[in-house]
């Protein structure tokens, strides 16, 4: 399946503009585009160049749960909004 370039642009722009750790675009029930910011020991190195890994393929477990919820709500595919996941903040409570 040939995917439009603008979907890749949406995912990468959403990742860079928001500071999220992961951005996912749901193309269909069986295909997603995922951009992940490369981190070291759970942190983004500030002085290092920006590294992004783009994955195209079948959805993982969390994505399948989200797709199931979208279908139940009647959301058509491709889903218009990019789903963002932020890094878990670890530290003293």
**For the chain (length 93 residues), average pLDDT per consecutive 10?**
88 91 93 91 80 93 92 90 85 65
Q: Is 19 left (phi over 0), alpha (psi -120 to 50) or beta?
A: left
Q: What does the domain layout of the chain look like in residue ranges?
A: 5-85
- What is the pTM (predicted TM-score) of this model? 0.84
Amino acid 55: pLDDT: 94
Amino acid 32: pLDDT: 94
Amino acid 69: pLDDT: 94
Pair 58, 72: CB distance under 8 Å? no
């Amino acid at each position: 399946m040939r995917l439009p370039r603008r979907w890749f642009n949406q995912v990468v722009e959403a990742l860079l503009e928001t500071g999220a750790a992961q951005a996912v675009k749901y193309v269909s029930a069986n295909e997603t585009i995922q951009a992940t910011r490369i981190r070291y020991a759970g942190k983004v190195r500030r002085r290092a160049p920006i590294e992004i890994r783009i994955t195209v393929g079948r959805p993982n477990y969390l994505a399948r749960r989200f797709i199931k919820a979208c279908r139940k709500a009647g959301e058509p595919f491709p889903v218009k909004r990019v789903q963002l996941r932020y890094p878990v903040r670890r530290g003293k409570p």
